[in-house]
Structure 1
């Protein structure tokens, strides 16, 4: 862990972003990366700052770069910088840019000229790890040898000889009362403008049999509590009188809290060492895994003027994104089973999730579960449908089930109508329930069950995976032998000869523009009134194997595949792939089983590892 501490000493306030989620309130964010290829002077970015004009400045080990949203302009020692190994950047209230380095002290950029300060000018060291501007326009220069404070009256130095608990200062923070907090290798201290007060024993914790009090990060929450993150001891929360102590046992993602920040939504975010991030929402902690983060050292977190996260890494460039998109729900936070098969939304907005371990109802942020212990005949829920009468219909391997209020009703009379598992359930515009299985299609009208005639459709291995309805009232069946249209009298088959990309059709969508979308294991086919369009891995899909489709009106469509999630937008009289989501930018699994847009703002994504929820209209 000494290597981590040395790393922190060299690079103090690094901004690194998120995320993966293992909680019903957690979020995952799609990111855009910037590196040498986009114009950075180096991939090892150690400082990020946005000035009053909106420019973003990135410090590297070979100088600094200014980013205007499109391109980078680079500066180094040849341009007048005090040193190339930049550690920190800030702007004072006069619009002057301050740049700290590890090998030359400080540069002050006034207009287009750099003016330099170093140890000969009175600084405590030429190796400045970070810079901070307080509310009195004083510049605080942090080093391994103490602190230098630059103001209009000159330079004042603080060390362990005149107030600091230790010379190796790891973090600086100004609270809402204008007090200055520093975390050091030996506890923390607060400066009220006249004297320092140290906290060492109050922040002591045990790591591998040793007593330590290393404080790496400090922030303040909306209730004016001070949060102090440690090296292996979790986090301490100080209310002005007493300290409270939280560790992994209390829900933290890791006990090494390398960075902290207060988000615009007033939640506290903590960055860990090789253990992702943790969010505190005011009541409890939510852990975020690190599998989607390009570097496991989360050494800092910040938000720009628009609420976007700007994060830096040691060797992976810049990561930026907007928090609040993805949410992941799984067995670890209440879902009855991670193997999601089907999803529907009832009339009150509750989301029903059928899994191979039972069914979960998600409403008001919590799960209610139903399985054999509650009266279901089978835990293997293959299909789910929410109908107009507030019933929830479940298709299992053996039986049809209806949930209505607190009552569970079984339909044993359907057993002779189906060859095997009930693969699909659908309520049409006439409030008729359609039931599909292997080799059988049944319509429920009132209390009657009617098997649809059509011998060409019925053979044992021809599964009816999905049922839908077009604007003319035709029923469409997605099967292993192509797409079938039922007009109330006869069945008509559509396959390769009719332009489909494949005949193993998983889902069919009839949109409001008269287009038919056919999702198959060989790609996506869109039949418009004028032409047929095909999408495969050759022209934008992450995989030919498509599994499901969802839409938000006629302006936004999503395709689930075995390689990720695809977002498709209409363009003029055609369509284009707008975005692809995979493990790398937010999904918990690339193999998608089911999709559902809830009609409000969220897309629900079912897969083998539970659920993702993305707030697409937020």
Structure 2
């Protein structure tokens, strides 16, 4: 046995972001704030003006159009006057109404005191302004001082809750006041962060969330500290309410995490966007628009829109071609293994939701080229190489997160089995037998419990033609199925492996096509059959039925099929991935993001996530967000 040497870890996660920069018409790549107004426009504050995006193009407003200063710190829409915007700049406040700007200034000679950092509109419609040196109110078209500070405390966020309390995030920690109070005072609590507040946020349930430079997120409800969570990964910089149960929290230099609102625990934090994998250091979630797209500020690099968080991609330069749904396998630890040419690639998500990719190289004695992989009932991994060797490995998780592979056995061509013409595909069944499709010969069956036992050969003498099948499959009852290249579908009962004839089904029996490319059985006992030119058929109780083709189903070439624990059936084709929700359904679904690439392998985890191997790499799809009925 050989214990293998492993290389260093690498990352490759990609999400379907759309990038907007000055190239697309944004005023500046240095962005400060983003808002969607009641009419659907997206407004972006930048260092050189206020940009408006209508979904197609940008229009920018600057001092030439009436802004008091081009550096926009924040923008809000009035609740009292729908369609009216309030804009805080480095030199005054601006009201944008009916295409015109009205400006309001703080009367001071100090440039730093003129800078307006934050805005809040109270229930009476009064505008409150946070600055470096205090808080102002707009009263009778004048900026009237409410709180004066003798030093640069910096009021970077102001919020008001239904209990009449006011909250402010400052450089000196969290402050509050009641409705009758004349100033903001420190909110003192043993577990309340007193370090500078980075972000202050009020959710739909009237909770105040405070992110601080000491890496703490605090939750306050009705004036009391409810919970406090120390983020071990870095400083939380921005928060956004994703839904009724979760927040999205940006952590500097790490990415975006999902945090439960009800019970914040470190173990329940999930990394959903890994910053370094998209070439950026900081990513600030700041807007969820009406179409449920997420918008992010990318400091000094413009803005990003994430249209679909359900898909993660791992591009791979070299991906070996495979048949029989053998391009990848999932192990008992939910790690994905890919036969990736000169290396074996391992992909997984850790307990924090962070994705990892690890390339195992030089795992055997020679310079092998890995073409196919499958897992057996013991959780062992089997790989086929270009020179027709079959290697069996056991994987052991290491503290670093990846696995260490140990070679257990090798099946050598022309020693353990005859393969002078080559191997088409292989499979290890639940009875510890290795089935090897041999080109121009048939199928060799090896008893892995006793390699000295006689090799069984299934060929024309058993009712199969003298050629290796493209597909090998064992159903839930233990029966064996063969998919031929223009030979139809072969059936071998589980008790007839050593003897008996193959029962052959062809177009004469109702198959749409004799070129069989994929097989899978669902929980109802239906056998799904993917063909090269005839789409998909379903076999049950001796009868074939076709999946309707009114949408030119699947491009007709179906290379792999997988069944989810929720009984949905997934099809990998030369035009992407399609699925049906239930075995008895005829409604076909597809996502545009999963279209247009040839799919060579499909696997479904117990949690329902779909793993897709294409000619361009690996994709993981979370079907909880599935949509786009074709």
TM-score, scaled to structure 2: 0.57
Report the secondary structure of 1:291's partner residue.
Answer: helix
Alignment of 1:396-407 (within 5 A): 397=392
Number of the residue aligned with 1:411: none
Aligned with 2:229 (options 222, 236, 246) = 246
Number of the residue aligned with 1:255: 234
Whether the 8 Å CA contact 1:601–1:617 is kept in 2: the answer is no
Q: 2:294 aligned with 1:297, yes or no?
A: no
Aligned with 2:252 (options 245, 269, 273) = 273
Aligned with 2:200 (options 218, 225, 228) = 218
Please give the alpha-carbon distance, in whole angstroms, between the structure 2 residues aligned to 1:88 and 1:295.
23
1:236 CA drift (Å): 2.7
Aligned Cα RMSD in Å? 5.9
Number of the residue aligned with 2:209: 227
Please give the alpha-carbon distance, in whole angstroms, between the structure 1 residues aligned to 2:113 and 2:534.
69
Please give the alpha-carbon distance, in whole angstroms, between the structure 2 residues aligned to 1:191 and 1:34.
40
Alignment of 1:98-497 (within 5 A): 98-100=85-87, 102-120=89-107, 125-151=113-139, 155-159=143-147, 161=149, 167-193=153-179, 194=181, 195-199=183-187, 202=190, 213-220=195-202, 225-239=207-221, 240-242=223-225, 244-249=227-232, 254-281=233-260, 282-283=262-263, 284-288=268-272, 289-293=274-278, 295-322=280-307, 325-326=310-311, 336=333, 338-340=335-337, 378-382=378-382, 397=392, 423-424=426-427, 436-437=435-436, 439=438, 441=443, 452-454=458-460, 467=473, 477=483, 485-486=488-489
Change in Cα spacing, 1:598 to 1:298, as seen in structure 2 (3 Å) is: closer
1:458 CA drift (Å): 8.0
Change in Cα spacing, 1:468 to 1:190, as seen in structure 2 (3 Å) is: same
Whether the 8 Å CA contact 2:259–2:269 is kept in 1: the answer is yes
Change in Cα spacing, 1:178 to 1:567, as seen in structure 2 (3 Å) is: farther
Please give the alpha-carbon distance, in whole angstroms, between the structure 2 residues aligned to 1:611 and 1:31.
16
Please give the alpha-carbon distance, in whole angstroms, between the structure 1 residues aligned to 2:70 and 2:534.
59
Cα distance per residue 1:148-181 (max 9 Å; x no partner):
222458533244549xx96212333333434321
Report the secondary structure of 2:107's partner residue.
Answer: helix
Change in Cα spacing, 1:110 to 1:192, as seen in structure 2 (3 Å) is: same
Please give the alpha-carbon distance, in whole angstroms, between the structure 2 residues aligned to 1:419 and 1:179.
81
Please give the alpha-carbon distance, in whole angstroms, between the structure 1 residues aligned to 2:336 and 2:138.
59
Whether the 8 Å CA contact 2:136–2:147 is kept in 1: the answer is no
Aligned with 1:67 (options 31, 53, 61) = 53
Whether the 8 Å CA contact 1:382–1:423 is kept in 2: the answer is no
1:320 CA drift (Å): 2.1
Change in Cα spacing, 1:216 to 1:533, as seen in structure 2 (3 Å) is: closer
Whether the 8 Å CA contact 2:34–2:286 is kept in 1: the answer is no
Change in Cα spacing, 1:433 to 1:214, as seen in structure 2 (3 Å) is: same
1:189 CA drift (Å): 0.6
Whether the 8 Å CA contact 2:134–2:147 is kept in 1: the answer is yes
1:419 CA drift (Å): 7.8
Change in Cα spacing, 1:38 to 1:491, as seen in structure 2 (3 Å) is: farther
Whether the 8 Å CA contact 1:100–1:128 is kept in 2: the answer is no
Change in Cα spacing, 1:55 to 1:218, as seen in structure 2 (3 Å) is: same
Cα distance per residue 1:382-441 (max 9 Å; x no partner):
59xxxxxxxxxxx99499xxxxxxxxxxxxxxxx998899943799xxxx9997435364
1:379 CA drift (Å): 3.6
Moved more, 86-95 or 169-178: 169-178
Whether the 8 Å CA contact 1:308–1:322 is kept in 2: the answer is yes
Whether the 8 Å CA contact 1:217–1:258 is kept in 2: the answer is yes
Whether the 8 Å CA contact 1:105–1:116 is kept in 2: the answer is yes
Whether the 8 Å CA contact 2:133–2:149 is kept in 1: the answer is no
Aligned with 2:602 (options 595, 598, 618) = 595
Please give the alpha-carbon distance, in whole angstroms, between the structure 1 residues aligned to 2:532 and 2:426.
28
Q: Gaps spanning 5+ residues in structure 2: where?
A: 1-10, 314-330, 347-375, 384-389, 395-414, 447-454, 492-501, 506-514, 521-527, 537-548, 580-587
Please give the alpha-carbon distance, in whole angstroms, between the structure 2 residues aligned to 1:107 and 1:118.
9
Number of the residue aligned with 1:9: none
Change in Cα spacing, 1:188 to 1:213, as seen in structure 2 (3 Å) is: same
Whether the 8 Å CA contact 2:530–2:559 is kept in 1: the answer is no
1:80 CA drift (Å): 1.5
Please give the alpha-carbon distance, in whole angstroms, between the structure 1 residues aligned to 2:92 and 2:563.
56
Whether the 8 Å CA contact 1:137–1:151 is kept in 2: the answer is no
Whether the 8 Å CA contact 2:573–2:599 is kept in 1: the answer is yes
Please give the alpha-carbon distance, in whole angstroms, between the structure 1 residues aligned to 2:559 and 2:252.
37
1:267 CA drift (Å): 0.8
Change in Cα spacing, 1:612 to 1:591, as seen in structure 2 (3 Å) is: farther
Change in Cα spacing, 1:475 to 1:94, as seen in structure 2 (3 Å) is: same
Moved more, 215-224 or 267-276: 215-224
Whether the 8 Å CA contact 2:15–2:312 is kept in 1: the answer is no
Cα distance per residue 1:224-263 (max 9 Å; x no partner):
55332111332233454446432245xxxx3301111222
Please give the alpha-carbon distance, in whole angstroms, between the structure 2 residues aligned to 1:228 and 1:178.
18
Whether the 8 Å CA contact 2:199–2:211 is kept in 1: the answer is yes
1:464 CA drift (Å): 5.7
Please give the alpha-carbon distance, in whole angstroms, between the structure 2 residues aligned to 1:599 and 1:515.
30
1:69 CA drift (Å): 2.3
Whether the 8 Å CA contact 1:356–1:379 is kept in 2: the answer is no
Moved more, 94-103 or 507-516: 507-516
Please give the alpha-carbon distance, in whole angstroms, between the structure 2 residues aligned to 1:115 and 1:356.
60
Whether the 8 Å CA contact 2:572–2:601 is kept in 1: the answer is no
